[in-house]
Amino acid sequence: MVKKIILILVPFIIVALLAGTLGAYTNYKKLPAYSVKFIRSTIPDHNWEGFREYVDVDGIVEAAAGELLEEKMAQMEKDTGAYSMKQMSDAYEQEVKPEFIRVMTKGFEDYISRGRIKFPEGKELSDTERLLKNYMVNSMQIVSISKPSVSNGEGSFLIEFANPELKTSFEMEAKIAQQDNGMWKITGISGWKACAKAIDKAMKARLDRLNSPIRQKMQDIMDIKEISAEIGPRDEYGFSETLRIRIKADIKSDEPLSAIIGRVNIEVPDGEDTFAPFEVDMNFRPQGLQTVEVEKVLNPFVRSDVKIMRNGLTRRAFHGEITGVVFKNGKRLELLTSLPD
């Protein structure tokens, strides 16, 4: 009789155990820790659909655009006086931001689906593609993920990234929020500017090491002795002024020269540093001690130029830099602007 009762109860016990296990698993899936663990597993598993289900890729890319493109637009405003504020805004909304979002979203998909971003071959890279390639995103690794801290349906956790190629690391903060179905989803990632600064610093250090012998060779060819400058009168419309720069240098080379390319970097108080590019045509210019004159139009709509017009500059504000040398036989010496493949 007891055996009979046990046999009758066995199916109910199994169902109860399964129900309890299923309920426990369902509840576990609604914990933020589960979401974080699952998201991390999607990267080695190349599970793009699963990643997208638990990560708001569109929102993250939109936020990245806001953080990273601010500085790009500020640099564009500083480097060119041709842009009015409306032109800057139109360029951002119609060209810069859409291209950034398209490439970054595709980059997310490529990286998760294939383990690396595939860059176009046989054509010039876009600004964002070039940025991602220079930043060596395919070498990025997740070093650690902190335990999520949550309260009232929202929370955050830290992700530490490392780039062994650039020998740098940085942290970013991920925001998570509980969805209507109880699951937790990454809704945003902050720290893009800090990330960019860390990578830029590492890239600059590596480029400086590679460029050091090239820079020395070019400096030996054009040895800058002194730089002075004065601000000329306003143009006929009273609109802009001209910064007239004089470079005293000793130019010497064992090989015939065609051109020397460089820039005068100008330190402006309270940041907003700027520069004046120059190119010396050496086809009909003798070598030896001489003065090279460079002009920079100061635009009243560019912050750095306005500061120069208002406050002037000291001689210590000017620093000459040679960026390229062209020889008559076509050979060139140039500073690297990106890391070699």
> 235-285: per-residue pLDDT in tens?
555 567 888 999 999 999 999 999 999 999 999 887 778 899 999 999 989
pLDDT at 331: 95
The more confidently predicted of residues 89 and 50 is 50
Bigger pLDDT: 148 or 341? 148
Angle, CA of 78, 83 and 84, to the nearest 5°: 110
pLDDT of residue 246: 95
Token look-up 């015939």 returns: 256
What share of the chain has pLDDT > 90, as a percent?
40
Alpha-carbon separation of residue 328 from 218, 258, 332 (angstroms): 15, 5, 9
Considering 207-216, 226-235, 307-316, the range whose residues carry the highest mean pLDDT is 207-216
CA 321 – CA 298 distance, rounded (Å): 20
Average pLDDT of the residues in 136-154: 89
Q: Please state, as a whole number, how many other Cβ atoms lie within 10 Å of the Cβ of residue 331.
A: 10
CA distance linking residue 299 with residue 303, whole number of Å:
8
Residue 5 has a pLDDT of 54
pLDDT of residue 306: 83
Q: E strands, 98-220, where?
A: 141-145, 149-151, 154-163, 168-178, 184-190
How many whole angstroms separate alpha carbon 40 and alpha carbon 51?
9
Q: What is the bridge-based pairing of β-strands 241-251 and 288-298?
A: antiparallel
**Among 312, 246, 303, which Cα is nearest to 76's?**
303
- In this structure, the number of other CB atoms found within 10 A of the CB of residue 84 comes to 11
Residue 45 has pLDDT above 60, yes or no: yes
Q: How far apart are CA 231 and CA 296, in angstroms?
A: 9
The strands making up 274-281's β-sheet, listed across from edge to edge, are 274-281, 257-266, 318-327, 332-334
Confidence of residue 25 (pLDDT cuts 50, 70, 90): very low
19-28, 83-92, 203-212: least confidently modelled range: 19-28
Mean of per-residue pLDDT scores for the chain: 83
Q: How confident is the model at residue 19 (pLDDT cuts 50, 70, 90)?
A: very low
pLDDT of residue 2: 47
Residue 317 to residue 314: CA distance in whole angstroms: 6
CB 188 within 8 A of CB 174: yes
pLDDT at 28: 46
57-113 pLDDT tens trace: 999 998 888 888 776 666 655 555 444 555 556 666 677 788 889 999 999 999 999
pLDDT(26) > 80 = no
Residue 268: both structure tokens together: 């402006």
- Percentage of the chain with pLDDT > 70? 82
Contact 42, 51 (CB under 8 A): yes
pLDDT category of residue 24 using cuts at 50, 70 and 90: very low
Stronger pLDDT, 317 or 81, i.e. the higher one: 317
Mean pLDDT on 121-126: 84
Contacts of 201 (CB under 8 A, 6+ apart): 168
Overall average pLDDT of the 10-16 stretch:
51
Least confident of 9-23, 41-55, 203-217, 234-248: 9-23
